[in-house]
Structures are given as structure tokens and as C-alpha cells.
Amino acid sequence: MNQTSESNLRQTIVEIGQRMYQRGYVAANDGNISVRIDDDRFLTTPTGVSKGFMSPENMVVVNSENKVFSEGKPSTELPMHLFIYKERPDVMAVVHAHPPYATGFATAGLSLDKCVLAEVIVTIGTVPLAEYGTPATEELPNTLKPYIHSCDAFLMANHGVVTVGSSLMDAYFKMERVEHYANILYIAKALGGERVLSKKEVEKLYDMREAQGIKSLNPGCYACQDECIEESCVNCEVKYDTDGPDYFNEIVEKVLAAVRKL
């Protein structure tokens, strides 16, 4: 498919909307999808229309100032999309939905930022939990600020999920992956709790990620990177030999790094 053709982009948004609706990632008129057409024009889903029942002509054309160049009203969450495009010139598409498992984690105050599943580490990296912000206000983009340059998928507290990508399908597949990951993690927790991969194993996955040409934004364990000075990090299973000189030096280095950040 030629992603650059506007009619193809309109059609792809329709198909992604149908998939999101059929999979229960959105209910009623929830969710929104957008794509970059060129340097300053974007195509976005209209407000007040179910993502499962859209047609290509429903899409709204806007610029980076949220000025509308077509019929229809854009999604009320468009400022969040435009914020992402402004901060991340590499991003070509943004998808927002409320898939139940991932949104369940976001509602329980749990991020998806532990190194648990190999495919997720290689393809998405960590999925942080952004603070709650009132939908359709400036608060929402602000909550993404701490993570926008280091992640491609975000949980929004008490709300849902946002994913970004190099194309519409890339952003959509990240949404699928996040929800699938949350579903698996939910089952693992019911079975006694997930086991995290060791740092050594995670490093091998980082190498794989780079070999595949996937940009390493923040593939690691967001929960404990850099700051972790615990003897045994439950997130990464870092085991130190507490009698050896390496343990002491490593702790000193981590404390100094933490102090420098203050």
C-alpha cells in the first residue's frame, strides 16, 4: 500500500477504526486516529463518530495549529496528537483508544514498564504510566511530556492508551501489542505473578532490537533504570555479590548518579 496517497490514508484509518471497535478497544464514539499527510497537514478522525462506522470522506484535514481545512469537526483530543507530532518529527501516526486490559492497568495505577516479554522489549520497549489529565484539555498533552521523547506507547492514568508510529499500521499494531501484553500480564498475575527477565537477557534483546534497525528510544526497564540502588532489584533481578568490591563500587556510582540528577 502506498502510505503517501491521501485516499489510502483515509481508507487505512477506516479499517483501523473497524478493528479497534470490533476488538473492543473503544466503545461508542471513543478513541481517535490521526496521520501526517505532509509537513503541516494532518488527517484525523471526526468527533462524535463511532470508530467502527466511519467512511473515508468523514476524515478531517487540519494543520499544526488545529485549523480545519475540510468539512467536519476534528476529534477533541486532536491537540494531544498535534503536541506529539510537534515533539516527535519522526512520528507519522497516532492512535488513541481504551482497550480494557491496558486501561485496567492504567486505572489501577500500574505501568507496563517491567522487562517481562521478549517481543515487547524488542518492538515497543517500556510502556510508562502518564499522570491523569482531564480529557480534551491542555492537561492531557502535558502529562505525556516526561515520556514523549523516550517511548512509543503510553498508558494514561484512569483513561486509556496512546501509541505512535512510523505509519498508521505501525501505531495501530503497537496498540494491539500493548493490549495483548496487558492481557498476558493480567493472567500471569492471577497465576502468582510475573517473573522479570534478568538484565543479561534484556541486554541480548536490546542488541536484537538494534540489529533489526528499531530505534532504541527507551527499551529498558523504566521502573529501575539508573536510580536502582537496591541490593536486589525486584524489577530487574539484579543480584549483587554484597561481599565483593564490585558491589561497593556499583552502589557508589549509582548514588553519585542519583545525586547529580538532583
What amino acid positions are annotated as catalytic residues? 77
| Binding region for Zn ion (CB under 5 A) out of 68-76, 159-167, 206-214, 252-260 | 159-167
Phi, then psi, of 64 in degrees rounded to 5 = -70, -15
Please tell me the count of residues contacting Zn ion according to CB under 5 A: 1
Which CB sits closer to Zn ion, 128 or 160?
A: 160
CB atoms near residue 203 (< 10 Å):
14
Q: How far is the CB of 140 from Zn ion (least distance, A)?
A: 9
Q: How far is the CB of 211 from Zn ion (least distance, A)?
A: 36
In the region spanning residues 28 to 57, those forming contacts with Zn ion, defined by CB under 5 A, are: none
Q: Is 17 in the site for Zn ion (CB under 5 A)?
A: no
| Binding region for Zn ion (CB under 5 A) out of 82-90, 115-123, 143-151, 156-164 | 156-164
Which CB sits closer to Zn ion, 148 or 162?
A: 162
Beta carbons of 109 and 130 less than 8 angstroms apart: no
Write out the DSSP string of the chain: --TT-HHHHHHHHHHHHHHHHHTTSS-TT--EEEEEEETTEEEEPBTTS-TTS--GGG-EEEETT--B-SSS-B-TTHHHHHHHHHH-TT--EEEEE--HHHHHHHHTT--B-SS--HHHHHHT--B-EEPP--TTSTHHHHHHTTTTTT-SEEEETTTEEEEEESSHHHHHHHHHHHHHHHHHHHHHHHTT---PPPHHHHHHHHHHHHHTT---SS-S-TTTTTT---SEETTTTEE--TTSHHHHHHHHHHHHHHHHH-
Which CB sits closer to Zn ion, 125 or 160?
A: 160
Q: How far is the CB of 93 from Zn ion (least distance, A)?
A: 17
Place of cell 533504570: 225
| Binding region for Zn ion (CB under 5 A) out of 103-111, 154-162, 236-244, 252-260 | 154-162
In the bound state, the residue with its beta carbon closest to Zn ion is 160
- Alpha-carbon gap, residue 4 to 117, rounded angstroms: 33
Which CB sits closer to Zn ion, 141 or 160?
A: 160
| Binding region for Zn ion (CB under 5 A) out of 48-56, 158-166, 175-183, 239-247 | 158-166
Q: How far is the CB of 37 from Zn ion (least distance, A)?
A: 23
Rule CB under 5 A: choose which of 133, 160, 165, 219 binds Zn ion.
160
Which CB sits closer to Zn ion, 157 or 196?
A: 157
Nearest 5°: CA angle at 174, between 4 and 119? 125
Q: How far is the CB of 162 from Zn ion (least distance, A)?
A: 9
Q: How far is the CB of 170 from Zn ion (least distance, A)?
A: 20
Which CB sits closer to Zn ion, 175 or 233?
A: 175
Residues near Zn ion, by CB under 5 A? 160
